[in-house]
């Protein structure tokens, strides 16, 4: 199964949302919010393979096509009703970060977030951390599947399902539980294309 068409649609929709958010005055904390695929892909892929933790196909496609995405930032004051919008954030494929994650996995199994001895790299802060408070982390769990598990506080889902969730809420899946919020979701999604099944 190829994840490339799906990731192309994710990148298109993230770019579209970025423009709308910028036009509304949303302040991204780490511009640009969409980073092109980096030059570390081959190095990180080789590093992981040598450690027995091959980069799963869906995550590989994300880094090849999308690159990185980080919608963490400050919404206009008129957007109310959601304390933790949980903006989409998947950090870049930085070799130093991933080397450190491998070292942690090898040397400190007691902090293994999955508890099963599987490589689980941190790829983003959690919904609280993204809101500017001391929070936790989101992890990708390398469980041997092409579409690995994504662990976000009390929830786990396949990585592509996480991206679908983010897409369904304009890049801010925390809006899902925020009844009565005033975020202009339909406008943020106005340029979205349909994700492939």
Domain ranges for the chain: 4-74+81-188
Task: Characterise 171 by phi-psi region: left (phi > 0), alpha (psi -120 to 50), beta (else).
Answer: left
Is the N-terminal amide bond of 32 cis, ω within 30° of 0? yes
Q: How far apart are CA 184 and CA 20, in angstroms?
A: 10
How would you write the pLDDT of the chain (197 residues) with one tens digit per residue? 699 999 999 999 999 999 999 999 999 999 999 999 988 999 999 999 998 889 999 999 999 999 999 999 999 999 999 999 999 999 999 999 999 988 888 886 555 666 677 888 999 999 999 999 988 899 999 999 999 999 998 899 999 999 999 999 999 999 998 999 999 999 999 999 999 98
Among 197, 190, 162, 196, CA closest to 13: 190
Angle, alpha carbons 22-23-25 (nearest 5°) = 65
The predicted structure's pLDDT at residue 76: 97
8: helix, strand or coil: helix
The predicted structure's pLDDT at residue 106: 82
Among 54, 3, 53, 52, CA closest to 158: 3
CB 147 within 8 A of CB 58: yes
The predicted structure's pLDDT at residue 104: 84
Among 28, 48, 142, CA closest to 93: 48
Q: In what order do the strands lie in the sheet with 137-141?
A: 122-125, 137-141, 149-152, 155-158
Q: How far apart are CA 157 and CA 140, in angstroms?
A: 10
Q: How far apart are CA 126 and CA 133, in angstroms?
A: 10
């Amino acid at each position: 199964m190829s994840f490339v068409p799906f990731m192309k649609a994710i990148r298109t929709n993230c770019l579209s949302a970025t423009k709308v958010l910028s036009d509304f005055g949303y302040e991204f904390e780490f511009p640009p919010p969409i980073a092109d695929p980096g030059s570390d892909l081959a190095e990180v892929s080789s590093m992981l393979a040598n450690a027995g933790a091959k980069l799963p196909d869906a995550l590989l496609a994300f880094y090849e096509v999308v690159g990185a995405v980080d919608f963490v930032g400050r919404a206009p004051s008129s957007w109310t009703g959601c304390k933790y919008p949980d903006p989409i954030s998947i950090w870049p494929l930085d070799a130093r970060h991933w080397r450190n994650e491998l070292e942690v996995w090898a040397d400190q199994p007691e902090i293994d977030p999955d508890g099963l001895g599987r490589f689980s790299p941190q790829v983003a802060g959690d919904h609280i951390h993204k809101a500017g408070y001391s929070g936790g982390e989101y992890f990708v769990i390398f469980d041997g599947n092409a579409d690995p598990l994504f662990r976000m506080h009390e929830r786990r889902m396949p990585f592509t399902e996480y991206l679908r969730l983010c897409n369904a809420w304009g890049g801010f899946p925390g809006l899902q539980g925020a009844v009565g919020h005033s975020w202009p979701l339909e406008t943020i999604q106005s340029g979205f294309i349909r994700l492939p099944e």
